[in-house]
């Protein structure tokens, strides 16, 4: 009895859970998608091959269109139980997964949870099917907190959507309550890894030839085992990210964004041990695609290197395996059972057709190997060792400024400036500045001492193209007070309207301290000797900031 109970407990430990969301619907300025529902089903099929993956542990939120339903019927594939991709359904699915995790003997400590989304992404949210309003969505902050509260050993978030990187890469936002800050701090410490299809400035793409998103196709192949370059039947986050980047950037120009759990690229993203699988022996080199006998949908693709076996996790069933090697296309049939199946080069029949059509349009053109994973690892470790441009709320600043002397006089004007910036609404900031500038001139009217005080309010946005730098374009408006002393005579303008524009670069040094450089141009409408004159002041600034 004790041995039986122990066996049950051990068999329950690796059981995974998944939520797959596919929403074709668009919004203002966004046309509906065609294949988001197909991508959610593609992910569901991969998940069903994993050991311990029960139908109750899979939640599919999608509204399948007629074309997909007809395709699956013709292919002999069954539809899983589904519900509409609404906020209510998503919240209910997360709650059900939480209850299942808490009911496990290990209370979820060894369990894996997958969240997959295919659909439209906007600057800070993923679109969902409306229930009452004209538009429904979930923000990145909501999704991160919602998933991080699950008591799971690892949580993998996979997003195939335009601008999906912005949901997790662009932190910050309104500082609302201490409760929200506490939830975000908890989310930061959760074992959560993220891989998104596209950076904030790039669209995700669909392909009619693939009947799905390009990212989703590459992702499904990677998770099935095409990314498992060391053959240990576990796809690490580094292998997953490297495989997806290796193929999607070549196919679409996308550069996926990723964040491994705890910064660990060796964390397991997919455990394929015990999964039903098709093994391509070391003699099977070339480009290989696995489809159902009807020909679609496509389940997985790999460019197999000669001499290396590849194991692809597939749900039990009958498959057609298409291979292109040396320009010749051949095919083989495979029946995958719970114990698996294996193919060698000799199992592929006579040439079926020449390589053309969709194989030329979208295919994995080069074998993926350990060198790509190693390159990603080196780059990642190097980036982690650099000081990070961390999110901040308040920045207190002091700087030296050098500028051309005003009114076209020769020489250099020196100045000091103090300021404060307050970050709000994610990348936005606003704050006041006060500066004092001094220059000496010798002109036709004799020596002159020019002093001016600038105070203004400025605002802009923060951009983080790399961990070691933060760029801030901004605009400002305020008042310049000017004094010009010539011999015993003083003239000036107590309140000259001033507008400014600048681009600034901050370089974090650690401990909240950053050094920054700025190029600025200011236009002041100054009244001197009864005439108002437009004067321009290009300025270079070197400063220090303390940010928290």
Grouping H, G, I as helix, E, B as strand and the rest as coil, residue 527 is strand
- 289/269 same-domain check: no
- 365/509 same-domain check: no
Q: What is the pTM of this model?
A: 0.69
CA 314 from centroid of its chain's CA atoms? 27
Grouping H, G, I as helix, E, B as strand and the rest as coil, residue 405 is coil
The Cα 406–Cα 450 span in angstroms is 8
Residue 185: per-residue pLDDT: 53
Q: Choose among 48, 71, 72: nearest CA to 60.
A: 48
The Cα 478–Cα 422 span in angstroms is 18
Grouping H, G, I as helix, E, B as strand and the rest as coil, residue 263 is helix
Greater confidence (369 vs 312) lies with 312
Q: Choose among 519, 509, 493, 297: nearest CA to 403.
A: 519
Confidence tier at 419 by pLDDT (50, 70, 90) = very high
- 178/98 same-domain check: yes
- b vs e for 52-71, b when ≥16 Cβ sit within 10 Å of the residue's Cβ? bbeeebbbbbbbbbeebeeb
Q: Which CATH number belongs to the domain containing residue 494 in this structure?
A: 2.40.160.20
Helix, strand, coil proportions of the chain in percent (round to 5)? 25, 45, 30
Q: How far is CA 298 from CA 5, 69, 198, 293, in A?
A: 40, 15, 22, 10
Q: What angle do CA 40, 336, 49 make, to 5 degrees?
A: 35
Greater confidence (304 vs 532) lies with 304
Q: Quick check: 20 and 61 in contact, CB under 8 A?
A: yes
Q: In the chain, how many domains are there?
A: 3
**pLDDT above 50: residue 6:** no
* Mean pLDDT of the chain, nearest integer: 83
- 400/335 same-domain check: no
> In the structure encoding, which two tokens stand for residue 151, read together?
């008591």
> In the structure encoding, which two tokens stand for residue 32, read together?
């509906």
> In the structure encoding, which two tokens stand for residue 532, read together?
């108002």
Answer whether residue 8 is part of any domain: no
Convert the pLDDT of each residue in 25-73 to its tens digit.
877 677 888 889 999 999 999 999 999 888 899 999 999 888 888 888 7
Answer whether residue 86 is part of any domain: yes
Last residue of a domain, one of 239, 256, 274: 274
Answer whether residue 6 is part of any domain: no
- 296/402 same-domain check: no
**Cβ neighbours of 410 (radius 10 Å):** 10
Answer whether residue 183 is part of any domain: yes
> In the structure encoding, which two tokens stand for residue 9, read together?
């407990």
* Helices and strands (H and E) in the chain: how many: 11, 30
Greater confidence (296 vs 409) lies with 296
Residues 6+ apart with CB under 8 A from 461: 427, 428, 429, 472, 473, 474
- 83/149 same-domain check: yes
Residues 6+ apart with CB under 8 A from 304: 280, 284, 285, 286, 287, 288, 310, 367
Q: Which CATH number belongs to the domain containing residue 324 in this structure?
A: 2.60.40
Answer whether residue 29 is part of any domain: yes
Answer whether residue 160 is part of any domain: yes
> In the structure encoding, which two tokens stand for residue 442, read together?
């010798």
- 409/381 same-domain check: no
**pLDDT above 80: residue 492:** no
Last residue of a domain, one of 363, 385, 407: 385
Q: What is the span of the domain harbouring residue 79?
A: 14-274
- 239/288 same-domain check: no
- 267/284 same-domain check: no
Q: How far is CA 146 from CA 93, 141, 265, in A?
A: 11, 8, 23
Q: In what order do the strands lie in the sheet with 317-325?
A: 298-304, 286-291, 317-325, 328-336, 353-354
Q: Choose among 548, 472, 546: nearest CA to 504.
A: 472
The Cα 431–Cα 163 span in angstroms is 29
The Cα 130–Cα 14 span in angstroms is 35
Across 175-179, 442-446, 459-463, which has the greatest mean pLDDT?
A: 459-463
Answer whether residue 60 is part of any domain: yes
Which helix (H) or strand (E) segment holds residue 400: the answer is: strand 394-404
- 270/402 same-domain check: no
- 101/192 same-domain check: yes
Convert the pLDDT of each residue in 374-402 to its tens digit.
888 877 776 666 555 557 889 999 999 98
Residue 58: per-residue pLDDT: 95
Answer whether residue 2 is part of any domain: no
Residue 546: per-residue pLDDT: 94
Q: Quick check: 201 and 238 in contact, CB under 8 A?
A: no
Residues 6+ apart with CB under 8 A from 512: 392, 546, 547, 548
Last residue of a domain, one of 385, 405, 429: 385
**pLDDT above 50: residue 2:** no
Q: Which of 30-44, 169-183, 334-348, 485-499 has the lowest mean pLDDT?
A: 169-183
- Strands 489-510 and 469-486, bridge-based pairing: antiparallel
Across 103-107, 393-397, 533-537, which has the greatest mean pLDDT?
A: 393-397
- 259/376 same-domain check: no
């Amino acid at each position: 009895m004790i041995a039986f109970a122990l066996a049950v407990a051990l068999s329950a430990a690796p059981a995974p859970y998944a939520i797959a969301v596919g929403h074709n619907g668009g919004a203002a300025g966004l046309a509906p998608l065609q294949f988001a529902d197909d991508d959610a089903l593609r992910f569901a099929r991969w998940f069903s091959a994993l050991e311990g993956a029960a139908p109750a542990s899979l939640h599919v939120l999608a509204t399948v269109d007629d074309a997909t339903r007809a395709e699956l019927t013709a292919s002999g594939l069954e539809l899983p139980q589904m519900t509409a991709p609404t906020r209510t359904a998503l919240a209910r699915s997360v709650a059900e997964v939480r209850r299942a995790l808490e009911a496990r003997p290990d209370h979820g400590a060894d369990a894996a949870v997958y969240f997959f989304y295919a659909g439209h992404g906007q600057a800070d949210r993923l679109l969902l099917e409306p229930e009452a309003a004209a538009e429904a969505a979930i923000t990145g902050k909501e999704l991160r907190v919602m998933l991080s509260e699950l008591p799971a050993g690892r949580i993998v978030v996979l997003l195939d959507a335009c601008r999906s990187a912005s949901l997790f890469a662009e932190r910050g936002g309104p500082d609302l309550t201490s409760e929200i800050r506490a939830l975000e701090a908890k989310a930061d410490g959760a074992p959560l890894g993220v891989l998104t299809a596209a950076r904030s400035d790039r669209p995700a793409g669909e392909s009619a030839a693939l009947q799905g998103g390009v990212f989703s196709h590459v992702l499904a192949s990677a998770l099935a085992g095409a990314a498992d370059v060391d053959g240990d039947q576990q796809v690490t986050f580094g292998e997953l990210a490297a495989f997806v980047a290796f193929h999607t950037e070549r196919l679409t120009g996308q550069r996926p964004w990723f964040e491994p759990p705890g910064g660990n690229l060796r964390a397991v993203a997919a455990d394929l041990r015990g999964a039903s699988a098709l093994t391509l022996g070391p003699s099977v080199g070339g480009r290989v695609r696995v489809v159902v006998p009807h020909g679609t949908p496509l389940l997985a693709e790999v460019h197999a290197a000669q001499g290396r076996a590849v194991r692809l996790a597939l749900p039990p069933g009958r498959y057609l395996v298409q291979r292109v090697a040396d320009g010749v296309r051949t095919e083989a049939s495979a029946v995958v059972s719970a114990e698996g199946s294996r193919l060698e080069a000799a199992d592929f029949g006579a040439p079926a057709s020449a390589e053309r059509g969709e194989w030329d349009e979208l295919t994995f053109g080069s074998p993926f190997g350990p060198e790509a994973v190693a390159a990603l690892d080196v780059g990642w470790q190097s980036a982690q060792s650099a000081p990070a441009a961390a999110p901040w709320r308040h920045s207190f600043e002091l700087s030296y400024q050098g500028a051309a002397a005003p009114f076209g006089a020769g020489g250099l004007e020196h100045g000091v400036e103090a300021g404060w910036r307050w970050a709000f609404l994610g990348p936005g900031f606003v704050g006041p500045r006060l500066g004092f500038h001094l220059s000496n001139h010798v002109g036709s009217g004799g020596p002159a001492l020019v002093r001016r005080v600038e105070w203004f309010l400025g605002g802009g946005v923060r951009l983080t193209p790399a961990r070691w730098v933060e760029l801030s374009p901004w605009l400002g408006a305020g008042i310049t007070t000017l004094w010009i002393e010539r011999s015993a005579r003083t003239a000036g303008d107590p309140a000259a309207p001033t507008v400014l524009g600048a681009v600034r670069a901050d370089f974090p040094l650690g401990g909240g301290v950053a050094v920054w450089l700025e190029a600025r141009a200011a236009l002041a409408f100054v009244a001197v000797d009864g005439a108002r004159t437009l004067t321009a002041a290009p300025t270079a600034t070197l400063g220090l900031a303390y940010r928290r």
